[in-house]
């Protein structure tokens, strides 16, 4: 069977820590053909280290290659819609990092482009492939856990996870708007960028979609003043109410302890 030929767009942290090493481990099934990144030195270095035959600064050059079957999009979320639609229009299957897009309109456009061009579109909701969560889903499906009434998740992330300035710096945005995660022009905040994992798990475990939304934010450190303003718009903590009083409540914090990272998950069912 012919190996699936991959082109990767965005050679930043998530690409080099997860996607590219995975492609290397699956070398018998996949072939990394090309990498695109707005930083030429990053694209060239990643291509050299992970065995891609070509690299580009303009991702459209990568999409023009007829020998690429699937495009892996690892850029910041505000670029997903444009790049995924372009990839689908070029006849490429698309694997896109979470979150899917910045707006519902962009997400709908991605789906429409994939259907129109007969290609597959997959969003990287990686926790569905984690054994612990697969076991929870199995217990729910088999009735070992009763009807799910409440899903609650609490996650605390260390400031160190967000880089030296506590937030990732992306060269895909103008210098004055960096770090992009704290820029209202480019980011929808932690509820979309990070908590999308928990929202997806709640959808999976309950089999239902959210129909009411509430959000709030409490940020104590002046270091995060820009982020706090953004979080209040959409974010943190996030409560999403489901039909029949189902609810997911998520609290994602940036504590002062530099190496503190904990995740807690509770599922409340209908059993008495």
Query: By CB neighbour count within 10 A (0-12 exposed, 13-18 middle, 19+ buried), where does 161 fall?
Result: middle
Cα three-residue angle 249-251-256, rounded to 5 degrees = 170
Stated as kind and residue range, the H or E segment containing 62 is helix 59-63
Residue environment code for 195-226, b if the CB has 16+ CB neighbours within 10 A, otherwise e: bbbbbbbbbbbbeeebeeeebebebeeeebeb
- Token duo for residue 148: 């799910």
Terminal CA-to-CA distance of the chain, rounded, Å? 53
Measured between alpha carbons, how far is 228 from 218 in angstroms, rounded to an integer? 7
Q: How many distinct helices (H) and strands (E) make up the chain?
A: 10, 11
Measured between alpha carbons, how far is 69 from 188 in angstroms, rounded to an integer? 31
Torsion of CA 34, 39, 44, 49, to 10 degrees: -90
Is 98 annotated in the active site? Answer: yes
Given 92, 98, 120, 272, the catalytic residue:
98
Active site residues: 98
């Amino acid at each position: 069977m012919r190996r699936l030929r991959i082109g990767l767009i965005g050679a930043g942290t998530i690409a080099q820590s997860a996607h590219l090493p995975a492609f290397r481990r699956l070398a018998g099934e996949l072939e990394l053909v090309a990498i695109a990144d707005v930083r030429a030195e990053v694209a060239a270095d990643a291509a050299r280290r992970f065995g891609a035959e070509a690299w580009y600064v303009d991702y459209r050059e990568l999409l023009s290659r007829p020998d690429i079957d699937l495009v892996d999009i690892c850029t910041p979320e505000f670029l997903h819609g444009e790049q995924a639609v372009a990839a689908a229009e070029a006849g490429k299957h698309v694997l896109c990092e979470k979150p899917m897009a910045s707006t519902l309109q962009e997400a709908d456009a991605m789906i429409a482009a994939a259907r129109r061009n007969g290609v597959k579109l997959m969003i990287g909701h990686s926790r569905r492939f984690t054994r612990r969560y697969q076991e929870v889903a199995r217990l729910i499906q088999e009735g070992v856990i009763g009807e799910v009434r409440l899903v609650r998740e609490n996650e605390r992330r260390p400031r160190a996870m967000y880089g030296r300035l506590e937030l990732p710096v992306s060269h895909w945005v103008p210098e004055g708007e960096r770090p992009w995660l704290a820029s209202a022009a480019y980011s929808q905040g932690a509820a979309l960028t990070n908590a999308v994992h928990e929202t997806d798990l709640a959808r999976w475990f309950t089999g239902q979609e959210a129909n009411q939304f509430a959000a709030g934010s409490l940020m104590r450190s002046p270091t995060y003043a820009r982020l706090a303003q953004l979080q209040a718009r959409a974010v943190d903590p996030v409560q999403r109410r489901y039909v029949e009083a189902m609810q997911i409540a998520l609290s994602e914090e940036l504590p002062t302890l530099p190496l503190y990272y904990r995740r807690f998950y509770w599922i409340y069912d209908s059993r008495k």
